[in-house]
Chains A and B, each alone.
Chain A
């Protein structure tokens, strides 16, 4: 009796370990190590940049209640001087919003409405990204550029498929195109070849919505921007009025509510 039970346990545990093995092998088979290495190289390189200016021409699909996706566009112009200064403008047909951070204060300025809000800020860009997201529900524009290659990046663990598609030009610069998959998201990236492995184009396809809405951006880089300290400090224009930023209520069921309001 005892022996049989032991046998059963052995068989079950063996088959369990076998199936686990198969799954991870399948995942491994879908992942081209060279594609992962290219991503790591890009992340490591991005972490070495202290000052940069980048313009991103973005399009985003929004899905209407009837399931139809419609596209909107915006241009982001971002100047960063790590670790503690950042300026970004997000401009679209309906908005012209500035983010200003000088290491002490964070200002959000709506140019079209001439309203601004200034709040005390943490000492680094990395901390600022977390704070404005958690406290105010505000996404830092081009947040990925600050996350690749950092401990906060979740992409490399999440990837279930990585393929090297081959060469592709973006704005007449030769890049290598890669396709990645992770849960609920297919994405492609074009990484510049040569000494400056910069991301030049991204396409994200959200898979857990039936309409599979897309976000895309093309990035133009300036690695030697000229600027002065005033670029990061907000000087309110005439007649600009100061307002507050709505905080996310810190109720325990906030997350639950958020989930309900999310993916349809």
Chain B
């Protein structure tokens, strides 16, 4: 995911959540190999959820996601036109065995229609059906299809065209 799109998403998200969530965005280029120029392109996006209304300790819940600019059509702007505080909870509760540690583009899940193929989200909208196609897992939610994928070593849901 490139930085500009992360910014766009972050901005939309801030609008959604107003001051409830504090964002710490990482653009890390820390090298971890002497012989290979690895991680130079790593964009780490960490959202520390400091949800003061609920749980002060929530800032331990730091979700680290390393993106190596893999798989992204995210230069589309995901339009989030929400005036409800919908996702206050969901972004800080990934440990229940669900998918994904990458909370950045959660806001996209709020949009009921016109989800852009290639977008990445971290929580599914309500009322999804699990469908297996060629041994792979998909989630069919309304008119959209979500496929959990490894992006680097993290997992996220990617909006895809209908499988089969």
* Cα(A108)–Cα(B34), bound, Å: 24
A124 at the interface (CB under 8 A from B): no
Contact A245 B149 (CB under 8 A): yes
* Across the A-B interface, the 3 shortest Cβ-Cβ residue pairs: A137-B68, A246-B71, A147-B35
| Count of residues in B whose CB is under 8 Å from the partner chain | 52
A172 at the interface (CB under 8 A from B): no
* Interface assignment of A213: CB less than 8 Å from any CB of chain B: yes
Q: Is the CB of A248 within 8 A of B71?
A: yes
CB <8 Å contact, A215 and B150: no
Residue B136 lies at the interface, judged by CB distance under 8 Å to chain A: yes
With CB as the reference atom, state the residue of chain A lying closest to B10.
A65
Rounded to whole angstroms, the CA-CA distance of A184 and B38 in the bound complex is 13
- Chain B, 1-41, contact with A by CB distance < 8 Å: what is the 0/1 string? 11100000000000000000000111111111111111111
Residues of B within 8 Å of A148, CB to CB, are 35
Question: Does A37 make an interface contact (CB < 8 A)?
Answer: no
In the complex, chain A residues whose CB is within 8 Å of the CB of B135: 242
24 sample A-B contacts, Cβ–Cβ < 8 Å, listed by A number? A64-B25, A64-B46, A110-B150, A137-B69, A137-B70, A138-B152, A139-B32, A147-B36, A154-B36, A155-B34, A189-B34, A204-B32, A206-B30, A213-B28, A213-B30, A215-B32, A241-B137, A241-B148, A242-B137, A243-B155, A246-B151, A248-B68, A262-B29, A262-B40
A residues in contact with B126, CB < 8 Å:
none
Secondary structure class of chain A's binding surface, majority of residues: mixed
The stretch that binds A, out of B77-85, B93-101, B107-115, is: B93-101
Interchain nearest-CB distance for B139 vs A (Å): 11
Please, how many angstroms separate the alpha-carbon atoms of A187 and B29 in the complex? 15
A116 and chain B: residue at smallest CB distance: B150
The verdict on A144 contacting B26 (CB below 8 Å), with A62-B64, A246-B150 known, is no
Residues of A within 8 A of B153 (CB): 90, 95, 97, 108, 110, 138
B31 touches A62 (CB 8 A): no
Interface membership of A228, Cβ < 8 A: no
Residues of chain A within 8 A (CB-CB) of B34 are 144, 155, 180, 182, 185, 187, 189, 202, 204
Contact of A62 (CB < 8 Å), options: B1, B30, B35, B97: B30
Q: How far is the CA of A60 from the CA of B135 in the complex (A)?
A: 36
For A, the interface residue count at a CB cutoff of 8 angstroms equals 67
CB closest residue in chain A, given B98 = A113
Please tell me if the beta carbons of A143 and B31 are within 8 angstroms of each other in the complex.
no
Task: Say whether B69 contacts A94, CB under 8 Å.
Answer: no
User: Residues 59-72 of chain B: 1 if any A CB is under 8 Å from the residue's CB, otherwise 0?
Assistant: 00011100011111
- B35 engages A144 (CB within 8 Å): yes
**Central interface residue in B28, B43, B101, by most chain A CB within 10 Å:** B28
